[in-house]
Structure 1
């Protein structure tokens, strides 16, 4: 490796070894430091390219590869080369074998500056870093200059090596960047055996090129969201079916059974989560809730009225709790079937920031959806009255609403109509997601399943506006549009004069021209509002990104606007 270091030093002398003060070999040492600084940048570049295909899949293989790249490019090669350069100059000062050519060795005897003197003595004849810092005698430069060089230059280089690593690990956890900065710290500490003057000029070249090394890593770019969102292969696949053993090898049946056979036969397997919304049949209801002769819900006051029906605050007289009744007046068969199907699925969604559905009852004036009653004001009203949210409040809102939607998606339920008026902020500032688009009438400026779309034009995803079925990516787009509204005070595509104009703008996938300015969430908002569903980050990815930003900002994800708390006892 010493010959390799000598060859690198000779190459650096060829690249830049001008014959003026402080000397051609002093300049060559600085150039060699710049060349060595390219190794950590090259390692980060390789990691960024590998992550183009692997994303955030950190299994044993990828972690081993990234660890080896970091150790070799940041620790092994820089340490061997830097110490090899120092040993080359030591050998020249002692008159030994340097690995340089005869003509190059002769030029080391030249004297360029008064404070340098003979170059081989200046670079290879002095004390090392440790001796210079702790036993400063006979040094060429001032002690303050050495102290500054051996603290500021390595620490500055460490900063930019860390930035290179964090750039290579964009759109993912940042902890793998320690594969780079920890080896660099070890390399810097292990280089205390270099001659002090050689080390000063080496670090003078290393620092600026560690800054420049950020450029190629940044140009590679992060992995695509489609790669990051790609599901990992399941590790719990059942083993291949084995042929049954011969009859005479089968074990005898157990004599004592813990449960009678009739009990086992009466316990069917639970359906998969995604199939809950498609199961036929009525919603299981508690005794007395339907067809029990009269209504069990005493209405207190009307909360709202629209094309779908009327929403009431009511009291469940049997359970003595306040509920919200959403009554569909004179529903057709399609509406009733869809209400039953979605109510069945929503009844099993369990998330503290997602409105709960208790019952589906037949009221005297129509079919009623019985839901959890939430006190508070819609997000739209809060933003209109008090102004946009700041980045911290919007981040908490986004992370928590994403968690509520993920819980619904895991049960096979899509919201389809996320908008600021469907996010309720309770009196202590906690957010709750309501109105899961259970049934829509054609007179409510939203088309039903037999028409084009379900959703509000200003906040509808482009693919929904074009007639494509809703998907989790559509909910992710609408949630991002709602967060953008909370930050900017207006929908991301701006407002239109009529709902039809807004719908046409959505169908054309007009660019989102009204995103919040100077927001820390601008990048992830732009990605989540991509017109192409497959390029959008998933809600789980968004939640991790936003929670990571809150953590780096020193803010807790819990707090006003999005704090997840246990349910209050019913009144």
Structure 2
């Protein structure tokens, strides 16, 4: 059996001895503690390159695959992690130890220049072959100590600090390779490394110490090439995945079998599909082409009723006045938006807003109830949201913190994605159009300039629609709006909530703000100390195709909230404490 095991280990020992001989050539100085002791440290440094090479390969592969973690991709990444972090390092480490044990036993070691193993460079070391190939292994040294207590303490520190430090940097290599995506695939690297470190308990203790002394610094240097490769571009991350939720084809029923009854209607959750960075909006006829049931248009027999009793005025905008009112028939509070001038264009606009909201079903989007004709004009009956605009909260109480901003961004991104999937663009996302209810939950309101069916006629004059401080550069230049435009405006709103200022700063007049937007002036007022600064800068890129999609932003922000141990659906009204004056 002994001969069989020895023969089975010969290929591994041969590769390990070749690695040691190469390491001896690279760095094997003839001074204390000895040339082969230094070669062992050099060999540990070379073995540390295996995990770095694995992380480098993953980073390169993700340049083309992004965050598509299907079965094939996960299998490839898992194999790369196991081979580069567990199999190859463990085989080399155990082979190095066995090579020195063979040399100490007087057997052929396969080392070139191995005659110097019998040389004594230091009195406290003795001969190198006895120092490296004799004595106890790591397990025996730690759990069955012999000799001086000081020596045991040194061994204990070496076998905890060195492997744990190496583990930290292997984890950093993996997390760097998986940038701009979920971090959980980094387990393919650090879990195999833990197994490898435990498996080296059979190495000779002195050999293991010098092996880890070389492994640790080169695991630090291994971060450099992985970081230089860089993350996958947003264009790859935002690449839409093929839809997999289409029902399978069902063969037609037999003539003798009765047709099954239709299933009851179900409220399907909006699919979490990745929108492209800046796709062209669909043709006008495709936007909101099949809205939900709309209340009777003006002039019908149900119009003109006085069922809505106004309580107080809530706001006054460019297209209408919003009132708090009571539905006297259903006895509920509603918001009543009445057009200023009930001409044909305004009526079309109100009907378009009703259609836009009718097809959007999301808990953080304001809901439309009715479209009626009041004595003083056409009125849109909407859900009444009790609360304060985000702009008012920030202006009165100061900026919000990173956790609150993360929840705000994720919630509003979900609302906009739901609208985009129904062919509706908001086009005027700003702090005053985000209402925070008494529980601190954000709601998106005022789809009054949303793009829906018939909108091309309403914007034929080329008039820029939106708020200059929060308008995307391409909108200010007159280009068609897109989901990327809404993403820019939402990022600007989140930046305002974190800093208290629009991302481009304030201008003296609306025209000056519009000109700054049209010139794509750089964003100079970002919250640099925020953890969201990087993703904010990417989302406020002047080029729409380079911006991350709203789904990508949600994944990034939700991942940060989860790692921070914070709930995703909490309030967004946590205020940053103001500094007391000195």
Confirm or deny a common fold (TM above 0.5). yes
The reply on whether 1:220 has 2:258 as its aligned counterpart is no
State the Cα RMSD in Å: 2.9
Distance 1:546 1:235, change over 3 A: closer
Deviation of the 1:139 alpha carbon: 8.1
Change (3 A) 1:554 1:449: farther
Give, in whole Å, the separation in 2 of the partners of 1:255 and 1:287: 48
2:8 maps to: none
Instruction: Name the residue aligned to 2:241.
Output: 232
Corresponding residue of 1:170: 179
Distance 1:486 1:300, change over 3 A: same
Name the CA distance, whole Å, in 2 between partners of 1:508 and 1:490. 19
1:468 aligns with 2:472: no
Equivalent residue number for residue 346 of structure 2? 335
Q: Alpha-carbon deviations, 1:508-553, whole Å to 9, x = none?
A: 1111111012111001101111111111111111111111111111
- Asked if 1:454 corresponds to 2:465, the answer is yes
Contact 2:491 2:539 in 1 (8 A): yes
1:179 positional shift: 0.7
Task: Give the 3 Å change call, closer, same or farther, for CA 380–63 of structure 1 in structure 2.
Answer: same
Q: CA deviation at 1:413?
A: 1.4
Q: Which residue does the alignment assign to 2:433?
A: 422
Q: Which residue is equivalent to 2:255? A: 253
User: Aligned to 1:513, which of 514, 518, 524?
Assistant: 524
CA distance in 1, matches of 2:371, 2:306: 12
Question: 1:362 is matched with which residue?
Answer: 373
Q: Which of 400, 412, 415 matches 2:423? A: 412
SS in 1 for 2:181: coil
* 3-state SS, counterpart of residue 530 of structure 1: coil
User: Is the Cα–Cα contact under 8 Å of residues 86 and 124 in structure 1 kept in the other structure?
Assistant: yes
Distance 1:56 1:160 in 2: 23
Match of 1:400 in 2: 411
CA deviation after TM superposition for structure 1 residue 562, in Å: 7.3
Question: Distance between the aligned counterparts of 2:259 and 2:74, measured in 1?
Answer: 48
Q: 1:196 and 2:198 equivalent? A: no
Find the aligned partners of 1:277 and 1:392 in 2 and give their Cα distance.
34
Cα distance 1:391–1:252, how it changes in 2: closer, same or farther (>3 A)? closer
Deviation for aligned residue 1:17: 1.2
Q: Which residue of 1 aligns with 2:66?
A: 55
Secondary structure of 1:278 counterpart: coil
Q: CA contact under 8 A between 1:437 and 1:454: conserved in structure 2?
A: no
Distance in 2 separating the partners of 1:525 and 1:162: 26
Tell me, what secondary structure is at the counterpart of 2:122?
coil
User: In the TM superposition, what is the alpha-carbon distance from 1:348 to its structure 2 partner?
Assistant: 3.2
Find out whether 1:134 has 2:136 as its counterpart.
no
Question: 2:551 aligns to what?
Answer: 540
Aligned partners of 2:318 and 2:158: how far apart in 1? Answer: 74
Q: 1:161 matched to which residue of 2?
A: 170
Secondary structure at the residue paired with 2:190? helix
**Residues 562, 213 of structure 1: CA spacing in aligned structure 2 closer, same or farther, 3 A cutoff?**
same
Distance in 1, Cα, partners of 2:573 & 2:255: 55
User: Which residue of the partner structure matches residue 5 of structure 1?
Assistant: 16
Q: Which TM-score applies when normalising by structure 2? A: 0.87
Rounded to whole Å, the distance in 1 between the matches of 2:316 and 2:62 is: 52
Query: Cα deviations across residues 311-368 of structure 1 (Å, max 9, x unaligned)?
Result: 1111112211111111112244333223323312312322222111111111121111
Single out whichever of 229-238 and 375-384 deviates more from structure 2.
Answer: 229-238
After superposition, what is the alpha-carbon deviation per residue over 1:365-393, rounded to whole angstroms, capped at 9, x for unaligned?
11111111111111111111111111111
Q: Counterpart of 1:29?
A: 40
Task: Say if 1:16 and 1:27, in contact at 8 Å, map to a contact too.
Answer: yes
2:446 corresponds to 1:435: yes
The answer to whether 1:121 aligns with 2:127 is no
Of 294, 302, 309, the residue aligned with 1:291 is: 302
Please list the CA deviations of residues 451-506 of structure 1 after superposition, one character each: whole Å capped at 9, or x if unmatched: 24221000001111111111111111100000000111100011111111111111
**Greater CA drift, 550-559 or 233-242:** 233-242
> Match for residue 443 of structure 1?
none
Match of 2:105 in 1: 94
Which secondary structure state, in structure 2, belongs to the residue aligned with residue 108 of structure 1? helix
**Secondary structure at the residue paired with 2:382?**
strand
Q: What's the offset of the Cα at 1:427?
A: 2.3
In structure 2, C-alpha distance between the alignment counterparts of 1:494 and 1:357, rounded to whole Å = 34
Determine if contact 1:495/1:502 at 8 Å carries over to the other structure.
yes
The answer as to whether partners of 2:431 and 2:493 remain within 8 angstroms in 1 is: yes
Distance in 2, Cα, partners of 1:549 & 1:431 = 19
Number of residue-to-residue matches in the alignment: 540
Is contact 1:299–1:314 with CA below 8 Å preserved after alignment? yes
Contact 1:132–1:139 (Cα < 8 Å) also in 2: no
- Contact 2:85–2:189 under 8 Å retained in 1: yes
Change (3 A) 1:289 1:398: farther
* Structure 1 counterpart of 2:328: 317
Q: Distance in 2 between matches of 1:38 and 1:323?
A: 66
Tell me the distance in 2 between the aligned counterparts of 1:301 and 1:468: 39
Equivalence for 2:216: 207
Provide closer, same or farther for how the CA distance between residues 547 and 279 of structure 1 changes in structure 2, counting only shifts above 3 A.
closer
The match for 1:527 is 538
| 55-64 or 422-431, larger mean C-alpha shift | 422-431
Whether the aligned pair in 2 keeps the contact of 1:375 and 1:427 (CA below 8 Å) is yes
Partner SS, residue 111 of structure 1: coil
- Assess, with a 3 A threshold, how the Cα gap between structure 1 residues 488 and 289 changes in structure 2: closer, same or farther: farther
In the alignment, structure 2 segments of 5+ residues that lack a partner are: 1-11, 272-281, 452-457, 575-582
